[in-house]
Amino acid sequence: MIMSENIRQGMIVKALSGFYYVDDGNEVLECRARGVFKKRGLSPLVGDLVDVDASGDTPVVTKVHDRTNRFDRPPVANVEQFIVVSALKEPDPNFAVIDKFLVNAEFNDVPAILCFNKRDLASEGEIEAVKAIYGDTYPIVFTEARNAKGMEELLPYLKGRRSALIGPSGAGKSSTINALRNEYSAEIGDISEKNRRGKNTTRHVELFRLKEGGSVYDTPGFTSFDLPEVQEDDLQFMYPEIRRFVGMCRFNGCRHMSEPDCAVREAAENGEINERRYSSYRDRIEEIREREKNRY
Ligand SMILES: Nc1nc2c(ncn2[C@@H]2O[C@H](COP(=O)(O)OP(=O)(O)OP(=O)(O)O)[C@@H](O)[C@H]2O)c(=O)[nH]1
Ligand SMILES: [Mg+2]
Ligand SMILES: [Zn+2]
């Protein structure tokens, strides 16, 4: 029997239990991957553009095309934008984790926008407080995904791009995707009665198309996040509101901690830089110093 070459190109839209689901524009093929990927530690990721050999009984991913980027947590490739999703309540926002994720986005040159969900559970004052922290620096939208509210604010950012929704379990990432698509396609979980946290309902990454154009990755929630391998003197560039003041301090190489005549600290003191973001920057500097100390 002569095997005909039957190579198709498509995008991995789901990876689950050793199978890769490849959308070739016509249909979604359930594929295995060539063993060689795993051996080289180059496992295909959701978002990868791949070649599939569909001539045998089981289609096989034979080639992963060059990526624009890739991430381990969550495991995704070719992300054009991060949507950092938090609940305003249940669970409470974790600003340290949000900021680490924003640093990671800056570090990888991927734009980020903030989405605060469950606005039905928050007071006007609480919403204003969140705006005060991030509103001058990042696009920020407030949603009530469970009732499909606020999607018209979010959609303009999503059109024509591949955006990864990331954030803690229970924040409402899957609910947001269902609200955007107006159908129940991503599984939604409860909030634990005991500690008001999510229950890690989403366990795999999946890419969903939007009928308006563009697509969104649903990802599993996380509770902590490690800073990327950013150097101490580069951190100032990962906080856009601090970046503006770089070069204006008395000392070259000022880390904006306790140096005299520091333009950044002054800006934080007089409210030009949000004090919470400045103290977040300081915490990250301490974290990097701690990490360097423990390295040797
Ligand atoms: N009050 C309120 N609850 C919401 C809202 N959006 C989602 N929820 C609820 O929050 C819970 C968690 O929602 P999910 O969409 O599963 O959260 P997730 O971020 O996907 O969580 P993981 O998959 O575990 O990471 C569910 O009980 C939702 O009904 C909202 O706008 N307001
Ligand atoms: Mg989910
Ligand atoms: Zn300084």
Q: Does residue 145's CB lie within 6 angstroms of at least one atom of ligand 1?
A: yes
Q: Which CATH number fits domain 71-218: 3.20.20.450, 3.40.50.300, 3.90.550.10, 3.30.1390.10?
A: 3.40.50.300
The answer to whether 75 and 44 have CB atoms below 8 angstroms apart is no
Ligand 2 center from residue 40 Cα (angstroms): 30
Q: Which residue's CA is the nearest one to ligand 1's atom 27?
A: 190
Q: Does residue 47's CB lie within 6 angstroms of at least one atom of ligand 1?
A: no
Q: Cβ neighbours of residue 194 under 8 Å, at least 6 residues apart?
A: none
Ligand 2 center from residue 223 Cα (angstroms): 13
Secondary structure of residue 271 in the 3-state scheme: coil
Q: Cα(67)–Cα(70) distance, rounded to whole angstroms?
A: 7
Mean pLDDT of 182-198: 85
Ligand 3 center from residue 228 Cα (angstroms): 22
* 90-102 pLDDT per residue, tens: 999 999 999 999 9
Q: Cα(87)–Cα(218) distance, rounded to whole angstroms?
A: 16
Residue in this structure with the two tokens 């100390």, named with its chain if needed: 293
Q: Does residue 121's CB lie within 6 angstroms of at least one atom of ligand 1?
A: yes
Q: Cα(284)–Cα(266) distance, rounded to whole angstroms?
A: 19
Instruction: Provide the residue type at 130 as one letter.
Output: V
Q: Cα(127)–Cα(124) distance, rounded to whole angstroms?
A: 5
Q: Does residue 117's CB lie within 6 angstroms of at least one atom of ligand 1?
A: yes
Q: Are the folds of 7-66 and 232-295 the same?
A: no
Residue in this structure with the two tokens 């140096």, named with its chain if needed: 259
Domain residue spans of the chain: 7-66, 71-218, 232-295
Q: Which residue's CA is the nearest one to ligand 1's atom 22?
A: 169
Q: Average pLDDT over the chain, rounded to whole?
A: 94
Q: Cα(192)–Cα(213) distance, rounded to whole angstroms?
A: 35
Class in CATH terms, 7-66: mainly beta
Q: Which residue's CA is the nearest one to ligand 1's atom 12?
A: 170
Is it the case that residue 104 has pLDDT exceeding 60? yes
Q: Cα(198)–Cα(90) distance, rounded to whole angstroms?
A: 8
Secondary structure of residue 46 in the 3-state scheme: strand
Is it the case that residue 4 has pLDDT exceeding 70? no
Q: Which CATH number fits domain 232-295: 2.60.40.1730, 3.40.50.300, 1.20.1050.10, 1.10.40.50?
A: 1.10.40.50
Ligand 3 center from residue 247 Cα (angstroms): 8
- Which one, of 157, 163, 175, 72, lies nearest residue 119 by Cα? 175
pTM of the model: 0.94
Count of beta carbons in the 10 Å neighbourhood of residue 295:
6
